[in-house]
Chains A and B, each alone.
Chain A
Amino acid sequence: MPAIGDSDAFRDDRRVLTQHHAAITLIQPRLTSPARSRLRWLDLACGRGQIIGSFREAFSDEVRARIDYVAYDIDQHFVRETAKAAEALRLGSVEGVVGDLAVLDSIMPPDWVLDYITFTNTAHEISPITLVHAILGAFSRLSNAGLFYAYDMETLDKPELGAISWTREEIDRIVQATLKALGSTYQPEASRVPHTTTSGWSIVVEAAHIGVDRDEIRERRQYVIGILRREIDSVLRSRLGRCSSALQSLTISGVSTAEEESIKLKYLYEFWALTRSLEASE
């Protein structure tokens, strides 16, 4: 979902990223369950279809044929490219939806209920409030046994203008605040995914534990958005304070190590992204 100009969708079929492998592993038992003949999978912010790149190796023809795949992105070229790649994999069905994540629930046909929703490598590219819209939209479209899986980097190796990456703790806070505002007592926990030079977070939410039906989620949407707006504002302001403090420290004391020399630029990117986001929310 390229809401920021610096982002770039990635596709390399020879390489399976950890998060995509996790997405496949999570759904594998459901796909091969004798009790299930079809599974509707919504790939939010599908980009160029990296997540389906390894489908051929991951699933047999028979299992792939059980997947009803929906590619969703704001970029119609991406949707077209991903849908084309999905069709080549002989999936059960392939649909493409072009739209903003903020209007996810309203843009999709009313009768669509999804068994599996993936949301990978995107949270940093969208505005914080769009993130909440996307989460709520996903929750309101999950089937009773549906699964929501999200993953993103905690920090970006290559900074992107306007990108706000989230830590595991912050995502925990956002998701749990969302569920609480919905009236749920369910408290899923995000986990940290260590990589060589950075780390990511991932979270899995099972619809069965939310305990709030889809219509109720829609009814409470505005209320939840109001609560989450304040919650996120608090998170961002706190982070902006620390970012400013770090920049101020470097301004006054200077840079001493190579790590500080390179982090300086990231702080400046972060400062801009946070300022931009907070100004937009006012």
Chain B
Amino acid sequence: MRIFLAHTSKDVELAVALSSELTFGGHEVVDPFAVRWGEPGLSEISRAIRSADLVVTILSGGNANVLYELGLAVGSDRPVVIAAASPEDVPFDAASVPFAVLTGNARDDASEIARHIGTIPTVPSRLRALTGTAEENLRTVAHDSSALASLRPGDLERLLVAFLGSQDFDVQLPGSRLDEGYDFAVVAPATHARLLVEVKSYREHSRVSVEAVRRLAEAAQGRDAAGGLMISTSQYSPAAMAFAASNRVVLMTLEEVLEAQAHDRIRGLATRSEVGQPQAEPSAPPVLLELTRAAAYETLRRLGGGDTAAELIADSVASYVDLSWHDPEVVALSREESKWRRYINQVAVRHWLYSLREPAGDEAARSRQHPGEQGAGSRFQHSGPASSLAPAIERARTLMVDTMVARGAPRDDAEDAAQDAVERMVRDPNRFAERLANVDAEAAYFTTVAFNAYLIRLRTERRRRERELRAGPALAESALAENLGLARPGIGQDAIVELARDAGLTPRQMEYLLAVLNENRSVSDVAAAASSSPQAVQAVLRRAVHRLRIHLESADEADVVP
């Protein structure tokens, strides 16, 4: 993210500390002291601010330059974080902007500002004319800050009145033009229960404060309404959300109102008077869920996941957090961003690994999946939403194989061991999630896991040979059928399929195996039919045989146990 840092020379120590922290965090920092001033300098500053993804303003002593830069940032609709020693230093119009209190300790202050920056999502804007229906216009406004900025006072309220009216709500406008503490009311047709609605047209990076929610709660109580419904173009402060949860107020963003199920939710709230009752299952704050989603998405992309799969799993991680919000430990973790990010990384990796085990069935997920993300040519078959994470697995597998080969392992053995390692990870996600989530330890961890798997494989192989020596040449390496013990009388295709399923063969392994065993097709034929290479087919068959053999051996061992 490109961050413009507005400050005075007095705050240079804090600016340096913050710059260092942000640069370390991967951001690009633009310092106005590095921009040449004078006549051209003004436009340079303006350009720097307009091109920034976010502007940090350190307000101290009402410096005109800093206030000018703040004005430019607000005017050009850049997200802003204000840092000042006291809220009284903040211009009234910017009172709802994310705000960090300065303590005078540069290091602590830099961390606090960086924490606020971390909570601000950046969304590209696009301009579209508002010429459609109320719903279309609301959708435009919800996604386009410049369209929102172009609305006149009261336009957004009018759009919402028209939209909710078109959704069969009985909308009532207040009799007075003065501020009644709410903009309009919606009434549920069945019960005539009334919700007072207050609309907040804030810049998207602002936060609606607890005071605004409290005013709506008071208005609702003063008018014997079932509760309050606040609709904002921005998010809400965590305190506002906490207050609303127990004070007969429901908070929604404009985007949420436009969701299909929102109408049922509003109607339900009005009819059941659900608002105001402490929720049986508390929900995580939406801001935190956004942060969670973004962190999970980042982790999954880092692991090589495709965009759609990473989004899907990030969504599932956010849902998981929401459902876990009753857990005090989870809530406690959320209070410190670094701990929270670490936790989310673990959850994301765990979800990813679990998703690899899931059978196909999520129609919605599949329908949303981009065809280009299917792991074509991958050595693994993944049917869940994470199938596009196959590149990540391939990357891990390649890393393991290369490392083991470089240290003297035969390539075939290294490949088998790598597969074993990945399968072990998939089978036991909890065990591996923590280390996988740590990007610094990822490469070393993959290598360690692979070597462990390799050692296990060697040990298994040694035991097998020992058994062979004891049992004689029952399983010959040369012939596939003999190797598998499938040449036994009475074993047909069904038995092979059943056996393959029991052994946990993938659909591709099973398909190739049946083609070779039952249809007597050559490896080259199978490769041509599958649009793959003979080497790849051989590798799949080799792993299939390996798995079947392990399965048969373990079954044999189980058979002899009294």
Measured CB to CB, the residues of A under 8 A from B are 167, 169-170, 173, 191-192, 194, 197, 199, 238-239, 242, 245-246, 248-250, 252-263
Query: Is B99 at the interface (CB under 8 A from chain A)?
Result: yes
Among B101, B181, B223, B243, which residue has its beta carbon within 8 angstroms of that of A249? B243
Report the stretch among B81-89, B401-409, B417-425 that lies at the interface.
B81-89
Q: Is the CB of A246 within 8 A of B210?
A: yes
> How many Å lie between the Cα of A259 and that of B211 in the bound state?
8
B90 at interface, CB cutoff 8 A:
yes
Contact partner, A245, options B88, B90, B206, B247, Cβ 8 Å: B247
- The CB with the most chain A CB atoms within 10 A, among B87, B101, B178, is that of B87
Known contacts A255-B99, A255-B239, A258-B95, then 13 further A-B pairs from the complex at CB < 8 Å, ordered by chain A residue: A169-B218, A192-B179, A194-B178, A242-B214, A242-B247, A245-B246, A249-B240, A249-B243, A250-B210, A250-B239, A252-B239, A256-B207, A258-B94
CB distance from B181 to the nearest CB of A (A): 8
A253 to chain B, nearest CB (A): 3
Report Cα–Cα, A197/B558, bound state, in Å.
81
Q: Closest A-chain residue to B217, C-beta based?
A: A242
Which partner residue on chain B sits nearest A252 by CB separation?
A: B242
| Of the residues A173, A246, A257, A262, contact of B214 by C-beta under 8 Å | A246
The answer to whether A257 touches B222, judged by C-beta atoms less than 8 angstroms apart, is no
Q: Is the interface of A mostly helix, strand, loop or mixed?
A: helix
From B248, which residue of chain A is reached at the shortest CB distance? A242
B238 close to A (CB within 8 Å): yes
The 4 closest A-B pairs by CB, nearest first: A253-B238, A169-B222, A249-B242, A256-B237
Q: Considering the chains assembled together, what is the distance between the CA atoms of A16 and B237 in angstroms?
A: 39
- A257 CB contact (under 8 Å) in B96, B178, B181, B241: B96
CB distance B179 to A256 under 8 Å?
A: no
Q: Is the CB of B179 within 8 A of A199?
A: yes
A257 lies within 8 A of B238 (CB): no
- Chain A residues whose CB sits within 8 angstroms of the CB of B238 once the complex forms: 249, 253-254, 256
* A-binding residues in B (CB < 8 A): 82, 84, 86-88, 90, 92, 94-99, 101, 178-181, 206-207, 209-211, 214, 217-219, 221-223, 237-243, 246-247, 285
- Is there contact, CB below 8 Å, between A257 and B285? no
Among A245, A250, A253, residue most surrounded by chain B Cβ atoms (within 10 Å): A253
Q: Indicate whether A238 sits within 8 Å of B95 (C-beta atoms), given known contacts A249-B210, A257-B237.
A: no
Task: Contact check, A259 vs B95: say whether CB atoms are below 8 A apart.
Answer: yes
The minimal Cβ–Cβ distance linking B261 to chain A, given in whole angstroms, is: 26
What residues on B are CB-neighbors of A194 within 8 Å? 178-179
Q: Are A261 and B210 in contact (CB under 8 A)?
A: no
Q: Please name all residues of chain A whose beta carbon is closer than 8 Å to the beta carbon of B84 when the two chains form the complex.
A: 258
**B82 (CB) vs chain A CBs: closest residue:** A258
What is the bound-complex CA distance between A249 and B180, given in angstroms? 25
CB nearest to A172 among chain B residues:
B222
**Cβ–Cβ < 8 Å partners of B97 in chain A:** 257-258
Q: CB distance A259 to B209 under 8 Å?
A: yes
Q: List 29 A-B contacts (CB under 8 A).
A: A169-B181, A192-B180, A194-B178, A194-B179, A197-B92, A239-B218, A246-B210, A246-B239, A250-B210, A253-B242, A254-B238, A255-B99, A255-B237, A255-B239, A256-B207, A256-B209, A256-B239, A257-B209, A258-B82, A258-B90, A259-B209, A260-B209, A260-B210, A260-B237, A261-B86, A261-B99, A261-B101, A262-B87, A262-B95
